[in-house]
Chains A and B, each alone.
Chain A
Amino acid sequence: MMTDDVTIPIDVGPVETAQERRTPAPEQREVVFDVQDLGVTYGSATAISGVNLAIYGNVITAFIGPSGCGKSTFIRCLNRMNDLVAGARVQGALLYHGQNIYGDGVDPVEVRRRIGMVFQRPNPFPKSIYDNVAWGPRVLGMKKGLDERVEKALTRAALWDEVKDRLKKSALSLSGGQQQRLCIARAIAIEPDVVLLDEPASALDPIATAAIEELMHDLKDQYTIVIVTHNMQQAARVADMTAFFSLQVGDGKRTGVLVEYDKTDKLFTNPADKRTEDYVTGRFG
């Protein structure tokens, strides 16, 4: 599998073969997330600081960068998943359609209801395939037409044909790639606005990875998609916009910072920052 420790010079092959990219002109962009000077600390350690960027609707935005640069920490801020980590504190503002999701009176449960997430390792519930998808809608009171909803979600996640004859079987009997698509189906069954994917393919083989990437393209007409990836080629293949995070080392402390954020083609072929160039050409990371 391709990883970002490649030492060959710039490889932008996949960029040219990428499917239709949507990088709307600035005036057409709908800002879904407006991140203002965001920082996260765990106890006395600063994970990321000073992040400013806007994430646009119905495009795929990728976060790339070396290990430990805080890209996973950042994506977990977008649906307040970091609330679950003891000692994590968030500074700055994170506006979701103009509403600060870290503001007073905001319920993280409501945030996560609108902003779904798929994790690094497939984590299906120890239930049947059907119940994995149906559980969320059922709990949230979307009980009408549940069968159709499950079928629709599984179809959108490109899994329906493989599982339609064994919906009552345990989800744990599926392969890793199927489990991850099931987790995507589970996330979209409750009709969120945004789907966050935290290294969704890092535990999968190349064929399953390709299936997930294709799926993301199919989903972006309906959802805003944000993906963290360890794999630069993956970002180049799927993302419309890419943000490069890196580590800033100063007085013995390592802090994740946002180095550059641009259209994917631009970031990979003509980066503005020297650090981005070094990273995408494989000189470090």
Chain B
Amino acid sequence: MAAATPTVSLKPSGGLRRRQIVNKIMELIGWLAALSAVAILFVVIISVAVRAWPALSWDFLTKPPALFGQPGGGISSAIVGSAIIVAIGTAIALPLGVLIGIYLTEFAPRFIAQPVQLVLDILNGLPTIITGIFVYGLLVIGHGQSAYAGAFALSIVMLPLVARAAQETLLLVPSVLREGTLALGVSRWRSVTGVILPTTFGGILTGAVLAVARAAGETAPLLFTCSIFNPAVSTDVTKALPNIPVLIFTYSEQPDKALHEQAWGAALVLMLFVLVSSLLAKALLARSRRKLGR
């Protein structure tokens, strides 16, 4: 069939051409902004890695700090201490946070759920230095610093994160699933423990992992509660334990190049832990969404 001669031109003309140029410019600016976020992360990772490089060795990870004035030594006591403090903090915040999430989604009426949610958001935004000084007043004055005081301070930081993550995940559970359980004549609580929670397990774990990653790097709460410690490896939670954030802070203030390098090394270890945790959380979330059929 022979093509008829078009009677209209659909090529851009006049104002449209100008609008298209503006559109292109704005798209470019947006792209640059997104690029800067990615670039910042990479610059941070690379600059920390380069400075940490001289300190890194197997001994660095497995040996406690050297005695005063001696060369070498590592951060094993701080790794152990951080692990203990964060583990205790998680043991407090995780069950409590999950219970809050369950209460908010499954039981609480709106007029209670909304204010509680607001409180959690405020708690999440609370400067951690305030959390630190609060726990200092509550547990440290009169008793001295200890790992459990530090863990308690970290649990306050983690609680809103875990609770909100649990709530968000529980909200993803389709209501037909809830109705399906309740139609069998079981109580709400059995419905939650038997079907709803197992379904959301992955999502709640994701929230927990992110909270752990966040708590592992928190410094301010520990400065007040767990910063004056014996550098040797210890598991005594009634005493202040060495930990990575405070170690980075104190080493970086020492007039000693070797300790500066160790501070960078510890920073790299902490950063890799957070990165791996975040990626793990992402994978867990994807898995749990698949399970929910979304």
Interface residues of A (CB under 8 A from B): 79, 81, 84, 86, 109-114, 116-117, 119, 121, 123-127, 135-136, 139-140, 172, 183, 186-187, 190, 192
Contacts and interface: CB of A to CB of B under 8 A. Distances in A.
A136 B198 contact: no
Contacts of A84: 178-179, 182
Contacts, number: 71
Nearest to A119: B176
B178 A112 contact: no
B110 interface: yes
Contacts of A81: 179, 182-183
B102 to A, nearest CB: 16
B56 to A, nearest CB: 44
Interface of B: 110, 174, 176-187, 190, 194-195, 198-199, 291-293
28 contacts: A79-B183, A84-B179, A112-B184, A113-B184, A116-B183, A116-B184, A119-B179, A121-B176, A123-B174, A123-B176, A123-B177, A125-B177, A126-B195, A126-B291, A126-B292, A127-B195, A127-B198, A135-B195, A136-B185, A139-B184, A139-B186, A139-B190, A140-B184, A140-B186, A183-B180, A186-B184, A187-B184, A190-B184
A254 to B, nearest CB: 24
Contacts of B190: 139
Given A119-B176, A119-B179, A126-B291, A109 B199 contact: no
Contact of A126 (B178, B184, B186, B199): B199
A81 B185 CA distance: 11
A202 to B, nearest CB: 13
Contacts of A135: 184, 194-195
A81 B199 CA distance: 22
Contacts of B194: 135, 139
Given A81-B179, A116-B185, 6 more contacts: A84-B179, A84-B182, A109-B182, A112-B184, A123-B177, A125-B177
B293 to A, nearest CB: 7
A281 B66 CA distance: 93
Contacts of B187: 109
